[in-house]
Amino acid sequence: MTVWDPQPPHPVPDQPPPIGYAWLALFLGALVTGLLVGTIGCGFLLLLRWGDGLRAAFIALAGTWNPWLGWLALCAAVAAAAALAAWLVQRVSPAAAGSGIPRVEGILRGEQPSGGDWIIPVKVLGGWLALSAGLALGREGPTVQIGAVIGERVGQRFKGLKDGWMFLMSAGAGAGLATAFNAPVGGTLFILEEVLRRMSPLGFVLTATACTAAVWVERALFELPRDYTMATLQEPPINAIWLYLALGLGLGLIGVAYNRLLLALLRGLARHPRFPLLPRAALIGVLVGTVAWYAPDWVGGGDAITQSVLTGGWVSGTLVAVVMVRFLLGPLSYAAGTPGGLFAPIMALGALLGLGIGTGFAHLAPDLVPQPLAFALVGMATFFTASVRAHLTGIVICLEMAGNYVMLFPMLAACLAAYLVAEMLHDVPIYDALARLGSARPPEHSSGH
């Protein structure tokens, strides 16, 4: 018996109110929403690139100083950025904490109120500080919540449509995810599979419209390329499907462990309210800064790690070490209470684990594994499925980001195995579990300011 309800009560209707212009009005609203989300989201992505460059430059500069002084300066900078990001959330907009996706889902289900007018500024500035400092957080959490707020505000302009803001809020959230990963189909599926959790004709039309408009802005106006490049993959031998099923079983177990580690950490902090948020964020910043001092490529959201994996840039010994560090760094970074998502760190871990397991299979059965790199790509979607339980979204986003579509069948098999393992272990999907903890906010945020 499953421990979570796959189709909770949801107030978003399937059809617009019976007004003649409703469909046209909502379509135009979705188009405007997508254009705005694409513009603001791409601006945020460019800010993050600049922030990553600043971090790399500072680490290089500190490396020329006395080792103790350089380490101390780097840790102080990361700690200050993390603490400032957490302070912005705590004092200005508590609703901007964490991923933001559980909160968006809660609002659409009528379980939580709207977050207020300061979400976007705090999400942009706080997210930039946290991610630029090197915390292992994803860019998609901020862009999804930014998109949802934009959609909500656009929808409120249609005074004659009772639930117009709900339709456009979900469409804006999908556009935010599509912008984060340059993946319009994945953004659309995410709303249908994870947020609405049903195939709604109106939900599909509006979300697809917003995602298409947002990614058009991203590709045509900002000229941002596909996220990852990798060698062309060959379709694996059909007999290798058993190896991908084994990959799914293994990553299913590890994904459940990752979820439970994150939740145990958050629950532990909730039981110790005497550990204030800002010192906690600063301490986590010191830990991240220490990792960055010794291994600069191991920190951050994980995009550089994933790209390195997909180009075969990790040797086995280093791969084991970075997996262990990232497995702990992701939950610790999320516990800092700053804006930041879970997708990118989860996919980076999946790529690392997939490459490691694929390399092992290549030694055991070289005829069945001509390209161990294929397991890295499949591992991204599989680990995402084990944690989030949105397998179609994970598959499509990974295929869109990498541009390799021959792995669809192995991905489906591996994700199926991971999904079944997580369900048999009664693991709650991570966003549902975070929603139960208070919309992914540490307990200090629950009261607001």
What does the pLDDT look like over 407-418, one tens digit per residue? 999 999 999 999
| 48 Cβ contact partners less than 8 Å away, ≥ 6 residues apart | 127, 128, 131, 132, 139, 301
CA distance 395 to 165: 29
| 238 Cβ contact partners less than 8 Å away, ≥ 6 residues apart | none
Same fold, 22-221 and 238-445: yes
Buried-state track 14-24, b at ≥16 Cβ within 10 A, e below 16: eebeeeeebee
Q: How confident is the model at residue 7 (pLDDT cuts 50, 70, 90)?
A: very low
- In degrees and rounded to multiples of 5, residue 228 shows phi and psi of -125, 150
Domain 22-221: give its CATH code.
1.10.3080.10
SS3 245: helix
CA angle at residue 234 from 344 to 363, to 5 degrees? 80
- In degrees and rounded to multiples of 5, residue 97 shows phi and psi of -70, 150
| 345 Cβ contact partners less than 8 Å away, ≥ 6 residues apart | 136, 137, 138, 301, 302, 326, 329, 330, 333
CA distance 135 to 277: 16
Residue 7's Cβ-count burial label (10 Å; 0-12, 13-18, 19+) is exposed
Question: Which CATH number among 2.40.50.140, 1.10.357.10, 1.10.3080.10, 2.30.30.40 corresponds to the domain 238-445?
Answer: 1.10.3080.10
Q: Does the pLDDT value for residue 5 go beyond 60? A: no
| 436 Cβ contact partners less than 8 Å away, ≥ 6 residues apart | 428
Tokens, residue 224: 């941002």
Q: Each residue of 183-200: pLDDT tens digit?
A: 999 999 999 998 887 777
Q: Does the pLDDT value for residue 173 go beyond 80? A: yes
Instruction: Determine the pLDDT at residue 16.
Output: 53
* Domain map (residue ranges) of the chain: 22-221, 238-445
Q: How confident is the model at residue 12 (pLDDT cuts 50, 70, 90)?
A: low
Q: Each residue of 197-228: pLDDT tens digit?
A: 777 788 899 999 999 999 999 999 999 988 88
| 318 Cβ contact partners less than 8 Å away, ≥ 6 residues apart | none
Q: How many CB atoms lie within 10 A of CB 161?
A: 21
